[in-house]
């Protein structure tokens, strides 16, 4: 099957009739990840401005090679790696067809990353990226791009798996996409720190199906120490949804909720509590989205949201709060405007349409927005 994406043309196996348009008919290609790949192409453009020495790009789990083909079109010196020989053959033929150079290699990405240094490494595995984290942070020079699709372990829905994979205690809350993203970022920051490197999140986004993060590397151990100080714990009241965050290597959970006195407090961590994106970089990436991206409109909307989203470590869901309080929900803009008029910061959060961030506590949100549903 012929696929046109972001100005490049590739062949992928035809999922409908099982026929192979390339070589292997079981080589993976997921059309629903186009937004993720469009944003990656825009990140690669914006990162070039930020770090002009960045030249080599490893598509570490290439499958059809779509990420590598797109990176080569952006002028990067591309290597596509895959364990599957059919994938390597298909990726090489796609690189050749596009004519922007690039080599596909039949290698285990972990072994390859210990052998060779790349400026940019893109991890896009099935499920968790943790089995690839050590060589990635040991050897990558400038930027790590990472997707994790194991959202249930990440957000605490499959908690034991989350604990095993990410070395922290994730909890299943009403802000599960953000819990997942911060579980992933915490594990990335800690892994990089083992190699005396700081992995600074410069852009991140999450949906129900995956978390995606871009981490800029800094070789100063002092910077790695600084980042570790932005990891810590969230304490979440299961009754009133009040939450508090504590930046610390050790948890000091409250005995009871500061808002409602409940003792049903969930403790999550250590997770990343710092900013998940750098506003200026999100804006620069947004400016690199071009009309030949199939998801241009969605990508710009997402990046616009990321550029202004508050960096509080959890988001709220208006519908969840209104249900708890027996109120009808309001239009998001009206709800946020009400908080702002009362002197709080409040922005939409990119996780979904009813998600928002604010510096108000749950009690303050309840009080300030009460007039929006006088019947309740």
- Which residue in the set 71, 78, 98, 109 belongs to the binding site for ligand SAM (CB under 6 A)? 109
Q: Is 80 annotated as a binding residue?
A: no
CB of 164 to ligand SAM, least distance (A): 18
First vs last C-alpha separation in the chain: 55
Do residues 107 and 91 touch, judged by C-beta distance below 8 A? no
Cα 97 to Cα 289: distance, rounded to the nearest angstrom: 24
- Please choose, out of 27-35, 163-171, 214-222, 337-345, the segment that lies near ligand SAM by the rule CB under 6 A: 27-35
Q: Is 77 annotated as a binding residue?
A: no
Residue 264 neighbours by CB distance under 10 Å:
12
Q: Give 60 or 271: the residue with its C-beta nearer to ligand SAM.
A: 60
Tell me: does residue 30 bind ligand SAM (CB under 6 A). Answer: yes
Q: What token pair was written down for 201?
A: 């999140």
Cα 242 to Cα 305: distance, rounded to the nearest angstrom: 24
Q: Within 13 Å and on the Cβ side, how many CA atoms surround 311? A: 14
Q: Give 28 or 316: the residue with its C-beta nearer to ligand SAM.
A: 28
Tell me: does residue 85 bind ligand SAM (CB under 6 A). Answer: no
- Which residue in the set 4, 26, 31, 83 belongs to the binding site for ligand SAM (CB under 6 A)? 83
Q: Is 179 exposed, middle or buried (0-12, 13-18, 19+ CB in 10 A)?
A: buried
Q: Is 67 annotated as a binding residue?
A: yes
Q: Give the SS3 label for residue 359.
A: coil
Identify the residue whose tokens are 């002009």: 52
Q: What token pair was written down for 13?
A: 């196996």
Binding residues for ligand SAM restricted to 46-65, rule: CB under 6 A: 61-64
Q: Give 38 or 124: the residue with its C-beta nearer to ligand SAM.
A: 124
Q: Is 257 annotated as a binding residue?
A: yes
Cα 337 to Cα 320: distance, rounded to the nearest angstrom: 19
Q: Is 82 annotated as a binding residue?
A: yes
Q: Give 89 or 244: the residue with its C-beta nearer to ligand SAM.
A: 89
Helix (H) or strand (E) holding 233: strand 231-237
Q: Is 145 annotated as a binding residue?
A: no
Q: Give 63 or 322: the residue with its C-beta nearer to ligand SAM.
A: 63
Please state the separation of Cα 313 from the chain's center in Å.
14
Tell me: does residue 38 bind ligand SAM (CB under 6 A). Answer: no
Backbone angles phi, psi at 348, to 5 degrees: -65, 155
Helix (H) or strand (E) holding 57: strand 56-59
Mention every residue, 6+ apart, whose C-beta is less than 8 A from residue 46.
281, 284, 285, 287, 288
- Please choose, out of 75-83, 185-193, 266-274, 332-340, the segment that lies near ligand SAM by the rule CB under 6 A: 75-83
- Which residue in the set 47, 67, 100, 270 belongs to the binding site for ligand SAM (CB under 6 A)? 67
- Which residue in the set 101, 126, 249, 264 belongs to the binding site for ligand SAM (CB under 6 A)? 126
- Which residue in the set 8, 10, 29, 312 belongs to the binding site for ligand SAM (CB under 6 A)? 29
Q: Which residue is nearest to ligand SAM (CB)?
A: 61
Mention every residue, 6+ apart, whose C-beta is less than 8 A from residue 77.
55, 56, 57, 101, 102
Q: Give 24 or 253: the residue with its C-beta nearer to ligand SAM.
A: 24
Q: Is 37 annotated as a binding residue?
A: yes
Do residues 318 and 326 touch, judged by C-beta distance below 8 A? no
Q: List residues forming the annotated binding site for Zn(2+).
A: 237, 240, 257, 260
Q: List residues forming the annotated binding site.
A: 37, 67, 82, 109, 237, 240, 257, 260
Q: What does the binding site for ligand SAM look like in residue numbers (CB under 6 A)? A: 28-30, 33, 37, 61-64, 66-67, 81-84, 87, 108-110, 124-126
């Amino acid at each position: 099957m012929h696929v046109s994406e972001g100005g490049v043309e590739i062949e992928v196996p035809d999922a409908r009739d099982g026929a192979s348009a390339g070589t292997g008919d079981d080589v993976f290609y997921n059309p629903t990840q186009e937004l993720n790949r469009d944003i990656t192409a825009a990140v690669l453009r914006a990162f070039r401005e930020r770090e002009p020495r960045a030249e080599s790009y490893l598509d570490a789990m290439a499958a059809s090679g779509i990420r590598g083909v797109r990176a080569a079109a952006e002028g990067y010196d591309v290597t596509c790696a895959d364990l599957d020989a059919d994938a390597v053959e298909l990726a090489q033929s796609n690189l050749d067809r596009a004519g922007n150079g690039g080599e596909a290699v039949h290698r285990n990405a972990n072994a390859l990353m210990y052998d060779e240094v790349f400026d940019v490494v893109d991890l896009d595995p099935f499920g968790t990226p943790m089995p690839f984290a050590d060589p990635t942070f040991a050897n990558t020079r400038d930027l790590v791009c990472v997707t994790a699709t194991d959202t249930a372990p990440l957000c605490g829905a499959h908690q034991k798996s989350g604990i095993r994979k990410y070395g922290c205690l994730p909890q299943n809350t009403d802000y599960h996409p953000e819990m997942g993203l911060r579980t992933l970022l915490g594990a990335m920051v800690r892994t990089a720190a083992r190699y005396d490197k700081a992995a600074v999140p410069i852009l991140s986004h999450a949906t129900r199906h995956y978390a995606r993060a871009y981490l800029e590397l800094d070789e100063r151990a002092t910077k790695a120490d600084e980042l570790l100080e932005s990891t810590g714990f969230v304490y979440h009241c299961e009754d009133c949804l009040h939450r508090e965050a504590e930046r610390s290597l050790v948890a000091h959970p409250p005995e009871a909720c500061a808002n409602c006195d409940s003792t049903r407090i969930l403790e999550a961590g250590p997770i990343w509590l710092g900013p998940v994106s750098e506003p200026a970089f999100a804006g620069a990436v947004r400016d690199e989205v071009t009309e030949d991206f199939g998801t241009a409109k969605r990508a710009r909307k997402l990046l616009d949201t990321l550029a202004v989203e508050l960096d509080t470590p959890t988001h709220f869901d208006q519908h969840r709060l209104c249900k708890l309080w027996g109120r009808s929900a309001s239009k998001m803009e009206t709800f946020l405007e009400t908080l702002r008029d009362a002197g709080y910061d409040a922005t939409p959060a990119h996780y979904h349409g009813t998600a928002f961030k604010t510096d108000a506590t749950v009690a303050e949100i309840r009080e300030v927005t009460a007039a929006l549903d006088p019947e309740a």
